[in-house]
Structure formats: structure tokens, C-alpha cells
Structure 1
Amino acid sequence: MFSKLFGGCRDESPVSSSQQLKQVLEVLGQKEITLQKKIDIEVERAKEFTRARNKQAAFQCLKRKKYYEGQMERLGSFQQRVHDQEQKLSQKSAVQCKQVQQIPSNVRNNLEKI
């Protein structure tokens, strides 16, 4: 009951969080590839419409291309945030390892004082 009230311990470990971040980066990479393909398709379609002298359709293709480029920018900033989180997580786990390594020496010092 108290664990429900006060949150209790979480089962998440830094390793699983790191794996989740890597999976997110993989998915974002796949989305980036898909968006790049869509941009290339819109550019080709715009060229075809321009050759056919259909300016309005070419303009619509360029609008969609611009939209996809905006999506790519947002995706890039999100990838950067995930990288930052990954670095913070690795720094946090390094600090925790140092603290765990210092525990035996702290216990030894406390025992010597007694």
C-alpha cells in the first residue's frame, strides 16, 4: 500500500533505458530515410509538371517538399535531444558506478572507527 502512495522503487535500469533510446534512434533514422525519399519524389514530380507547363501542380509539389523539409528539421532536433539524454544517462551511470565502488571503502573506514 505504501509503495502505491509513495511511488516505490522503479524497475527501470540504465541498461534498459539505454536500449530504449537506441531503439528510438533507429526508428527516427528510418523516418528520416522515408522523409528523404518523399522529398526526392516531390522534386521529381515538380520537374515533370514544370516540363508539362503545369505551374500550379509544380507549386503544390514544392509546398509538400517544404513541409517534408520542416518535418526533417523537427526530426533532427528530436534526434539531438535523444542523443543528449543518452549522454546524460551514460554520465549518470558512470557516477553511480563510482559511488558503488566507494561503498566498500566507506564501510571499511566506518568499521575502523568503531
Structure 2
Amino acid sequence: MFSKLFHGCREDSSKSSSDKLKQTLEMLEKKEIILQKKISVEVERAKEFTRARNKQAAMQCLKRKKFYEGKMEQLCSSQSHIRDQEQKLPQKPSVHCRQVQQMTTNLKENLEA
């Protein structure tokens, strides 16, 4: 009943949001590794096509490499944005939150008595 009035405390939401940010950061790091591998593959393929004097295929490989590098830049900017959000999360519960919790426990004790 009182949780509906005071809407509870948001301590759990900050913990879960920090967990979500960490999971997202890990996922982006994995994607970054995959893109690095794709870039290196395209470079090797371009070298092979250049040796075989197939300029058109080599150019296609370099275009894909450029595309992957653009995606890599987007990932890096996303990672920095998430790290900024992580730093902005409150590290400790606010005093106001503790006061609300204390008031609700006091009210519950008074009602039970």
C-alpha cells in the first residue's frame, strides 16, 4: 500500500541499469572484435586480388573494409556514450530514499502494533 504512495525506492533500478549497461558494453566489445577480424580478412583478400591483377575485386574488398571501419567508429562512439552513462549513475542510494524506507518501515510497525 505504502509502496504505491511513495512509489518505492529506485535502488534496484540503478543496479539493474548498471548491469544492463555493462552487458551492452560487453556486447559492443564482442562486435568490435568481429569487425576487426572482418577488416583484416578484407585486407588479405584485397592483397590476393591485387596479386592476381583483379582490380575490380580488390576495390570491392577495400570498399567493404571502409564500410567496416565506419561501423567500428560507430561502435567506439557508442561505447564512449555508454561509459559516460555509467559514470552518471548514482553510486550510493540517496538520503531521501533511505528516509522514505525508514518512514515506511516505521508506519508498518505502527500499523502492526
TM-score by length of 2: 0.73
* Match in the other structure for 2:4: none
| Aligned-residue offset at 1:13 | 1.5
* Match in the other structure for 1:26: 26
Q: Any runs of at least 4 consecutive aligned residues in structure 1 with deviations exceeding 2 A, and if so which? A: 8-12, 99-103
User: Over aligned residues, Cα RMSD in angstroms?
Assistant: 2.5
Shift in CA distance, 41/18, structure 1 to aligned 2, threshold 3 Å: same
Matched, 1:93 2:85: no
The number of residues matched between the two structures is 93
* Match in the other structure for 2:61: 61
State the distance in 2 between where 1:60 and 1:81 align.
Answer: 32
Give structure 1 stretches of 5+ with no counterpart. 1-7, 104-114
* Match in the other structure for 1:76: 76
TM-score by length of 1: 0.72
* Match in the other structure for 1:17: 17
Q: Which has the higher contact order (CA 8 A, sep 6+)?
A: 2
